[in-house]
Structures are given as C-alpha cells and as structure tokens.
C-alpha cells in the first residue's frame, strides 16, 4: 500500500513538472490575456550584442499562442515582434567585428520598418490604435522607445524560441546609414 502511494506521488510530480515545462512557447498571463511584452527597444550600441547573440532566447508568438477571439491587438504586437526578430536575424547573420556599425544601422532600420508596419496594421482597424502610432517622425520613435519591458534584449531564462517563418519585406539599405 505504501509502495503504491509512493509511485502515485512520483507520477503526480512528473505530471506537474511536465505541465510547467517550457516547450519553446510563452504562455498567457493569469488574466488569460496573452503576455506580449511590447514595444521592443530601439537597437543601440549597448544592446546590439544581446540582439544578435540572444535572439533564440526571446519569445516568439506563433498563431497557436493566442486565443481565437478578442485579442487581435495582442496578435498584431506578436506579429510585429516575430517580424522584427526575423529581420534582426538577417542583420546579425553575417556579423563581423568590423561591421558592427553596419549591423547596428541594419537593426535600427529593421526596428523602424517593423514598427511602421505595425502602425499601418493598427491604424487599419476600427479599434483604438497603439498610442505611439498616432505620432509622426522622431516623436513616434521616441514614444516607442519609452517604458520598455526589455531594453537590453535579455533572453528569457530556460526559453528557446520555436521555429517561425522568415518574414519577408525587409531590405537593408547601407546608403541610409
């Protein structure tokens, strides 16, 4: 009898451990709203190394992450983060020490383009758009770069990003640096 209880206890612990295991996806918060830390920080010389080295350690948001209804604003944020991480990968892909200024310029262009595309999507809905999307020019970028959830692009401990499709639509323009 005691042995059966011990085995049952072990199975319960195993099931609890598996339930809390990280399978490369983030999870909704306790309010059952998706947790999509937003906005991403502007790339700088201080956070560029983390952008390039820890990309697979930051959350991605595949469609299955979101509930089917009522969270379209979170879906747009997740799509913007996925797009940006994909484009950061393109910027960092062939990085060498001599090219740090070009990598930073590329990452900054990717950041602006991803957030511009996010704003186009936000402003095309019949809901209230994300506040920074109402701004223009440098005021928009300053707004997006305030109150950041992860300004240094630190990885999430124990997280490995799931494979997501490469986002098309970004082309680095070295002449714009």
On whether the CB atoms of residues 164 and 82 are closer than 8 A, the answer is yes
In this prediction, residue 17 has a pLDDT band, given cuts at 50, 70 and 90, of: very low
In this prediction, residue 95 has a pLDDT band, given cuts at 50, 70 and 90, of: low
Q: What is the CA radius of gyration of the chain?
A: 20
* Percent of the chain residues past pLDDT 90, beyond the cut: 60
In this prediction, residue 23 has a pLDDT band, given cuts at 50, 70 and 90, of: very low
On whether the CB atoms of residues 52 and 88 are closer than 8 A, the answer is yes
CA 68, 38, 29, 154 torsion: positive or negative? positive
At residue 31, the pLDDT reads 54
CA distance to 25, 30, 74, 151, 164, per residue, from 160 (Å): 8, 22, 21, 19, 12
- For the chain, the domains span 2-176
List Cβ neighbours of 113 (8 Å cut-off, separation of 6 or more): 87, 169, 170
Tell me the whole-structure pTM to 2 decimals: 0.79
Residues 24-83 pLDDT 10s: 444 444 456 778 999 999 999 999 999 999 999 999 998 888 888 778 889 999 999 999
């Amino acid at each position: 009898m005691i042995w059966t209880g011990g085995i049952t206890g072990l199975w319960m612990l195993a099931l609890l451990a598996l339930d809390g295991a990280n399978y490369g996806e983030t999870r909704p918060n306790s309010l059952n709203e998706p947790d999509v830390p937003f906005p991403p920080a502007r790339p700088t010389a201080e956070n560029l190394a983390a952008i390039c080295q820890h990309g697979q350690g930051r959350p991605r948001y595949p469609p299955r992450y979101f509930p089917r209804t009522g969270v379209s604003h979170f879906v747009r944020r997740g799509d913007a983060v996925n797009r940006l991480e994909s484009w950061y990968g393109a910027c960092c892909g062939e990085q060498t020490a001599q090219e740090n200024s070009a990598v930073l310029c590329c990452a900054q262009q990717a950041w602006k383009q991803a957030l511009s595309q996010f704003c186009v999507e936000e402003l095309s809905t019949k809901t209230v758009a994300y506040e920074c999307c109402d701004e223009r020019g440098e005021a928009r970028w300053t707004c997006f770069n305030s109150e950041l959830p992860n300004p240094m692009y630190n990885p999430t401990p124990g997280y490995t990003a799931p494979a997501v499709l490469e986002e098309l639509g970004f082309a680095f323009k070295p002449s714009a640096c």
